[in-house]
Amino acid sequence: MPETMTLIGGRSSRQGTSLCAGKFEAEYIEVSSTVEMNAEDMARLGLKDGDPVRLRSASGEVSVRCKGRTTKDLPPGLLFIAYGPLSSRLMASDTAGSGMPISKHIEVTVEPVSG
């Protein structure tokens, strides 16, 4: 069963260093297509580090790899992804008249990708 969670986009060290090497290089692509997830949430969904998951928002869907984090670092129900084309794909263009789309709090459904 897909579960609804909250996705936060942000920067990370590796996102920054791999960005300098180039957005079409393997490392940047890997960094920006990995989602961090609470380890207990992952266990409940039957996921291990590196497993593919599908994230779906009102604006689009993407497949990414997941990586577990402890509850102390990332509470249940929260997901973190480094900014990149995939995080943008889930973002809506509406800004509520502010110019700024919501990119640090996106409701997504999370579903393991079988096979």
Partner 1 sequence: MSDNIRIINDATCTFCGCVCDDMHLTVDLDAHKITKAENACVLGRAWFKEHGIDEKRPFALIEGREASTEEAIEASAQILANARFPLIYGLSDTTCEAQRQAVAIADMIGANLDTTTSVCHGPSGMAFEGVGESTATLGEIRNRADLLVFWGGNPAESHPRLFTRYTVTAKGMYVPNGRKDRTVVLVDVRRSPSAAVADIFVQVKPQRDFEVLWALRALVKGKRVDPNIEQVTGVPLATLEDLAQRMKNCRFGALLFGMGLTMTRGRHFNSGALLALATDLNEYTHFVAKPVRGHGNVTGADNVVSWQTGFPFGVNLGRGYPRFNPGEFTSADLLGRGEADAALIIAADPGANFSHAAIEHLKRIPVIVLDPKLTHTGKLARVAITTATYGISVPGTVYRMDDVAISLRTALPSPYPSDEEVLTRIKERVRELLGGNRVPAMGAA
Q: Which residue has the tokens 């497949």?
A: 63
Residues 28-87 touching partner 1, rule: CB under 8 A, are 59-60, 72-75, 78, 80, 83-85
Residue 76: which residues within 8 A CB-CB, separation 6 or more?
38, 40, 41
Considering the complex, what minimum distance in angstroms separates the CB of residue 50 from partner 1? 21
Name the residue nearer to partner 1 (CB basis): 65 or 104: 104
Q: With contact defined as beta carbons under 8 Å apart, do 40 and 71 qualify? A: yes
63: helix, strand or coil: strand
Contact positions toward partner 1, by CB under 8 A? Answer: 6, 8-13, 16-24, 59-60, 72-75, 78, 80, 83-85, 88-89, 91-105
